[in-house]
């Protein structure tokens, strides 16, 4: 059972790294910064 | 039995994270404006509203919704959450989430307590799928944010208090959010972390990793007497002796105050985690 868990963990880490690197390559961070810097009207409850 | 030292240590770190993530003084004091520096690119795996006047970081639920709205896959945010989940499971829910801290503090109010029905824990997965991914994609709007009580607490109410120009915009949506927040606050007095267990989409994203994360909980079956202490102290009401790596576990470590030391932090590789050092903070006195 633990072997399966470790395999799943390894796949998760690999997937996480791939997504993270690909996201950084696509400039997702810039998109996150831009979005986070604009007042979220839904969060405030006015739009 | 005494488990307060660890409990206090956790509360201390929860405050450190809450203040650290929302400590942009300029946003709180001067004419309301949001921090827009590079730290906003950090997406901590906790529910921390990015409409909060003092926040330095972005909200994972809000960021994912934004990517859904612009019809893009949130590679970076998902990658970050998967890596955190694979490493420590829901540890951040227990030690860093500001809304978790609010609920933990409210539950300390001495009154009659109730248990959350078990079926309600599935609610958070529905909230994640529908209100964070599906509906924002379909309607091109951040739907979960419209319901989020943390948004009302950290974003809506402070923004309204600090920014008089927004007052005339407070309508049905704003007051609905305030009512939702009031319901969550009220529920948190009577039930352990109701929002985290039944609604939180960030918790739902991290939860599946509890089973396979590097950091694990372990119960020594021979030492466990089945006294139920672990469930009493657990902030999410898990019977740790039955399911130490439950999807609900927020890795707070309070169950390691077990009177027979049956519950321990470990790693998936079977080696003791370095985290048991926090047990040094414990002084267990059995009455």
Q: What is the pLDDT of residues B199-240, one digit of tens each?
A: 999 999 999 999 999 999 999 999 999 999 999 999 999 999
Position B2 pLDDT exceeds 70:
no
* Chain mean position to CA B191: 15
Within 8 A of A46 by CB-CB distance, chain B residues are 166, 169-171, 173-174
Position B3 pLDDT exceeds 80:
no
**What is the interface size between A and B, counted as CB pairs within 8 Å?**
156
ipTM value, please give it.
0.95
Within 8 A of A24 by CB-CB distance, chain B residues are 76
Of the candidates B50, B78, B213, the beta carbon closest to that of A40 is on B50
pLDDT of residue B46: 97
Counting DSSP H helices and E strands in chain A, the numbers are 3, 0
Mean pLDDT calculated for residue range B41-49: 96
Report yes or no: A1 at the B interface, CB cutoff 8 Å: no
Contact B166 A20 (CB under 8 A): no
**What distance in Å separates residue B262's CA from the closest CA in chain A?**
20
Q: Taking a C-beta distance cutoff of 8 angstroms, is the pair A23, B45 a contact?
A: no
- How sure is the predictor about B276, in pLDDT bands with cuts at 50, 70 and 90? very low
Minimum CA–CA partner of B60 in chain A: A32
> What percent of chain B clears pLDDT 70, i.e. is strictly above it?
93
Residue from B26, B64, B74, B212 whose CB has the most chain A CBs within 10 Å, to mutate: B212
Could you report the per-residue pLDDT of B167-194, keeping only the tens digit for each? 899 999 999 999 999 999 999 999 999 9
Q: b/e map of B238-277 (b: 16 or more CB within 10 Å)?
A: bebbeebbbbbbbbbbbbbbbbeebbbbbebeeeebebee
Could you report the per-residue pLDDT of B85-139, keeping only the tens digit for each? 999 999 999 999 999 999 999 999 999 999 999 999 999 999 999 999 999 999 9
**How would you write the pLDDT of chain A (47 residues) with one tens digit per residue?**
789 999 999 999 999 999 999 999 999 999 999 999 999 999 999 97
pLDDT of residue B283: 45
Rounded-to-integer distance, Cα B88 and Cα B214, Å: 6
- How sure is the predictor about B280, in pLDDT bands with cuts at 50, 70 and 90? low
Mean pLDDT calculated for residue range B25-42: 89
Contact A40 B49 (CB under 8 A): yes
Reported as type and span, the H/E element at residue B265 is strand B263-267
Report yes or no: A20 at the B interface, CB cutoff 8 Å: yes
Binding-face residues of B in 134-193 toward A, CB within 8 A: 141-143, 145-146, 148, 151-152, 155-156, 159-160, 166, 169-171, 173-178
- How sure is the predictor about B286, in pLDDT bands with cuts at 50, 70 and 90? very low
**Which residue from B188, B209, B182, B185 is spatially nearest to B91, judged by alpha carbons?**
B209
**Which residue from B184, B63, B272 is spatially nearest to B263, judged by alpha carbons?**
B272
Higher pLDDT, B27 or B4: B27
Within 8 A of B74 by CB-CB distance, chain A residues are 23, 28
Higher pLDDT, B272 or A36: A36
Query: B75-88 and A2-25 helices cross at what angle (nearest 10)?
Result: 150
- Residue tagged 């969060």 (tokens): A43
User: How long, in residues, is chain A?
Assistant: 47
**What distance in Å separates residue A28's CA from the closest CA in chain B?**
6
* Chain mean position to CA B119: 19
What is the SS3 assignment for B266? strand
Mean pLDDT calculated for residue range B62-82: 97
Q: b/e map of A34-45 (b: 16 or more CB within 10 Å)?
A: ebbeebbbbbbb
pLDDT of residue B21: 96
pLDDT of residue B275: 55
Of the candidates A21, A33, A40, the beta carbon closest to that of B62 is on A40
Q: Taking a C-beta distance cutoff of 8 angstroms, is the pair B262, B223 a contact?
A: yes
Binding-face residues of B in 198-217 toward A, CB within 8 A: 209, 211-214
Over chain B, what is the mean pLDDT?
92
C-alpha separations of B255 from A21, B127, B282 in Å = 36, 28, 11
Higher pLDDT, B277 or A25: A25
pLDDT of residue B201: 97
Cβ neighbour number for residue B36 with a 10 Å cutoff: 12
Report yes or no: B50 at the A interface, CB cutoff 8 Å: yes
Contact B34 A39 (CB under 8 A): yes
Alpha-helix runs per DSSP H in chain B: 4-21, 25-29, 60-69, 75-88, 91-95, 98-107, 123-126, 135-139, 143-147, 149-150, 157-162, 172-190, 194-198, 201-206, 229-233
Position B29 pLDDT exceeds 80:
yes
Q: List, as own/partner pairs, every contact residues B107-115 make where C-beta atoms lie below 8 angstroms and the sequence separation is at least 24, other chains included.
A: B107/B188, B107/B189, B107/B191, B107/B192, B107/B193, B107/B235, B109/B189, B111/B189, B111/B190, B112/B190, B113/B190, B113/B191, B113/B192, B114/B190, B114/B191, B115/B191, B115/B237
Report yes or no: B194 at the A interface, CB cutoff 8 Å: no
Contact B268 A9 (CB under 8 A): yes
pLDDT of residue B272: 65
């Amino acid at each position: 059972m633990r072997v399966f868990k470790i395999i799943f963990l390894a796949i998760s880490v690999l997937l996480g790294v791939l997504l993270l690197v690909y996201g950084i390559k696509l400039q997702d961070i810039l998109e996150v910064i831009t979005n986070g810097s604009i007042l979220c009207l839904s969060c405030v409850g006015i739009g | 039995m005494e488990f307060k030292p660890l409990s206090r240590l956790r509360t201390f770190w929860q405050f450190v994270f809450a203040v650290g993530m929302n400590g942009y003084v300029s946003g709180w004091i001067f004419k309301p404006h949001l921090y827009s520096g590079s730290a906003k690119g950090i997406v901590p795996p906790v529910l921390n509203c990015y409409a909060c006047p003092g926040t330095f970081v972005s909200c994972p639920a809000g960021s994912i919704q934004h990517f859904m709205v612009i019809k893009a896959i949130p590679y970076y945010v998902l990658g970050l959450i998967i890596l955190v989940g694979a490493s420590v499971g829901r540890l951040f829910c227990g030690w860093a989430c500001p809304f978790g801290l609010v609920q933990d503090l409210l539950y300390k109010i001495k009154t009659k307590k109730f248990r959350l029905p078990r079926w309600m824990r599935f609610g958070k997965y529905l909230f994640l799928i529908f209100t964070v991914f599906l509906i924002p994609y379909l309607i091109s709007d951040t739907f979960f944010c419209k319901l989020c009580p943390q948004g009302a607490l950290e974003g809506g109410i402070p923004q309204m208090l600090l920014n008089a120009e927004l007052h005339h915009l407070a309508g049905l949506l704003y007051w609905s959010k305030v009512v939702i927040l009031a319901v969550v606050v009220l529920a948190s007095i009577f039930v352990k972390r109701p929002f985290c267990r039944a609604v939180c989409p960030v918790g739902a994203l991290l939860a599946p990793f509890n089973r396979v994360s590097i950091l694990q909980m372990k119960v020594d079956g021979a030492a466990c007497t089945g006294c139920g202490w672990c469930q009493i102290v657990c902030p999410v009401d898990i019977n740790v002796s039955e399911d130490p790596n439950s999807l609900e576990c927020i890795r707070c470590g309070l169950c390691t105050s077990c009177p027979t030391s049956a519950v321990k932090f470990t790693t998936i590789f079977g080696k003791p985690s370095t985290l048991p050092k926090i047990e040094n903070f414990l002084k267990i006195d059995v009455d």
